[in-house]
Amino acid sequence: MPRIFACLALSEFIVLLLTGTVGVWRLDPHADRHVLLAVLAILLSCMIQVAAFTYLTVVEKATAQAVHLGRLALDPILSLKRLKKRFTRYLGLVLAAMLLATATGASAWRGSPPDGWHFVAAMAVIALHVCAYLRQYGILRDAGRIAAGVLVRYSAARACGTRWSTPP
């Protein structure tokens, strides 16, 4: 998942830059392309966050099941919960920045005189996306490593002939 996340984050960054370029240089006199690119950027950003959060949830559940069935230490579950909490903070930051840029852009699109806030919000969106995506990539990578380690220990415990019983 970290590689997929990196590819999606790069595509999001390209869409954000393209949206900004069309908006700043007014390549479209009616701003329709800028608005459509902005909608694409919002949808792509939400999709990336949802997919990565879903991945973390599934990894956490699968790891918890392996820990419980293999009667392993509970530390990996707690580590994954902390990683998921950190990821959620960045998720909120990314989506809040997109909301701010969208609100200032919608105000300008409705006919209000441009006041520069939309440009500032757009630059903040790009900067926050880069910082958050780099951190989220690290979180996804760490979660994958933790899960892989647990599954190796689970396989070793199972190979040792531990008696398996279904939980109550």
What is the CATH number for 114?
A: 1.20.120
Dump pLDDT digits (tens) for 19-59.
988 888 876 676 788 889 999 999 999 999 999 999 999 99
Q: Tell me, what's the pLDDT at 89?
A: 96
* Mean pLDDT of all residues in 64-69: 93
Q: Measure the CA–CA gap between 68 and 150, rounded to whole angstroms.
A: 11
Span 103-150, pLDDT tens digits: 888 877 777 666 788 889 899 999 999 999 999 999 999 999 999 999
Count structural domains, the chain: 1
Q: What is the DSSP letter of 114?
A: P
The answer, yes or no, to whether residue 101 has pLDDT greater than 80, is yes
Q: Which domain holds residue 37?
A: 2-158
Domain-embedded: residue 53:
yes
User: What is the reported pTM?
Assistant: 0.85
Q: Where does the chain have alpha helices with state H?
A: 2-24, 32-70, 75-109, 117-159
- Domain assignment present for residue 125? The answer is yes
The amino acid present at 95, given as its one-letter code, is: L
* pLDDT, tens digit, 9 for 90 and up, residues 150-165: 999 999 888 886 555 4
